[in-house]
C-alpha cells in the first residue's frame, strides 16, 4: 500500500504535459497516469516519448505521446488540438518544457536569446492561451508553470535561463486574476536542484554532493517524484483555492 496520496478528482481528467519524455516531465506523466488521468504529452525526444507511453500502457488510460517542438507555436497548437480531440477538453496544463543549457553572458547574441525565451518561457504563455476555453467549458482548471530557484539563488552560468524562469513569476501573477474569474488556477511549481539522470551525469560530483549536504535543510537528493507529487496536489480539486503562488520544492535550500 502506497504511503502517498491519491486524488479521486484526477481520475479521467485530461492532462497535457510539455517536455514529458524524460526527467521531471516523465515523472509528471507517470504520476498522472497512475492517478487514472488521461495524459497527453509532447517532446522533441521521440524515442524516449514513445518508450514512456509504452511503459505506461497498463495504466487506466495509456498516455498519448505527440512529437512536438514547443518553440514551433503552430506545432504546439496542433498538438494541443490533437490531445483535445483524442482525450477530451484539457483540465490540467503542465508547462514543463525547458532547457537549462549553460551559456556565457558575453558570448550570447539575439539568436541565442530568442531561442532561450522560446524554449523556456514563450510556450508557457501560448499553451495556457490555447487551453483556456477548455477550462472555461469545464467550469475550471489548473495551469502549472515550471519555475526554478536558480534565479532566486543568483546562480551564474545561465543568465538567459534565469531571466526566463524569473518571468514565470510574472506570468503567474499577470494571469491569476483574469483566469480566476473562470475558476482557472495558475501557479508556479518551483524546483530546487532535482537530481535527474541528466543532472547526475553532467553536474553532480563530489563538490555537488557536499553542497547539498551543506545548504539543503533536508538530507538526501531532491527527486523528480517529489515535484510530481506536488503537481498532483496543484492539479487536483484539493488545491481549489490556491492560485497566483510559488510552490517551492527544494528541500529547504538556503
Q: Looking at the annotation, which residues are catalytic?
A: 161
- For 123, other C-beta atoms within 10 Å of its C-beta total 26
Cell 506523466 -> residue: 29
Query: Which residues are registered as beta bridge partners of 90?
Result: none
Pure H helices in 106-223: 110-117, 123-138, 159-180, 197-202, 206-215
The answer to whether the CB of 32 falls within 8 A of the CB of 235 is: yes
117: how many CB neighbours lie within 10 A of its CB? 17
Whether residue 207 contacts residue 230, with contact meaning beta carbons closer than 8 Å, is answered with no
Q: How many CA atoms lie within 13 A of 241 on its CB side?
A: 0
Question: Scanning the structure block, which residue is given the C-alpha cell 553532480?
Answer: 204
Element (H, E) at 230: helix 224-235
Q: Are 38 and 87 in contact (CB under 8 A)?
A: yes
Angle between helices 123-138 and 159-180 (to 10 degrees): 20
Amino acid at each position: 500500500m502506497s504511503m502517498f496520496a491519491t486524488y479521486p478528482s484526477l481520475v479521467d481528467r485530461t492532462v497535457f504535459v510539455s517536455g514529458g519524455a524524460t526527467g521531471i516531465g516523465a515523472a509528471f506523466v507517470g504520476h498522472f497516469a497512475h492517478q487514472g488521468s488521461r495524459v497527453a504529452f509532447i517532446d522533441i525526444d521521440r524515442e524516449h516519448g514513445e518508450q514512456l507511453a509504452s511503459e505506461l500502457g497498463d495504466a487506466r488510460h495509456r498516455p498519448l505521446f505527440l512529437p512536438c517542438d514547443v518553440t514551433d507555436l503552430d506545432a504546439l497548437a496542433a498538438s494541443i488540438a490533437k490531445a483535445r480531440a483524442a482525450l477530451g477538453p484539457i483540465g490540467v496544463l503542465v508547462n514543463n518544457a525547458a532547457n537549462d543549457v549553460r551559456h556565457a553572458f558575453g558570448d550570447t547574441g539575439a539568436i541565442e536569446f530568442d531561442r532561450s525565451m522560446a524554449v523556456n518561457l514563450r510556450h508557457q504563455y501560448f499553451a495556457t492561451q490555447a487551453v483556456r476555453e477548455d477550462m472555461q467549458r469545464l467550469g475550471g482548471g489548473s495551469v502549472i508553470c515550471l519555475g526554478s530557484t536558480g534565479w532566486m539563488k543568483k546562480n551564474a552560468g545561465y543568465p538567459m535561463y534565469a531571466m526566463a524562469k524569473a518571468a514565470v513569476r510574472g506570468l503567474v501573477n499577470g494571469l491569476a486574476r483574469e483566469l480566476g474569474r473562470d475558476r482557472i488556477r495558475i501557479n508556479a511549481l518551483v524546483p530546487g536542484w532535482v537530481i535527474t539522470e541528466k543532472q547526475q551525469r553532467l553536474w553532480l560530483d563530489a563538490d555537488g554532493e557536499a553542497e547539498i549536504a551543506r545548504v539543503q535543510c533536508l538530507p538526501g537528493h531532491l527527486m523528480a517524484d517529489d515535484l510530481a507529487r506536488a503537481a498532483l496536489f496543484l492539479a487536483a480539486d484539493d488545491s481549489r483555492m490556491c492560485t497566483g503562488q510559488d510552490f517551492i520544492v527544494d528541500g529547504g535550500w538556503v
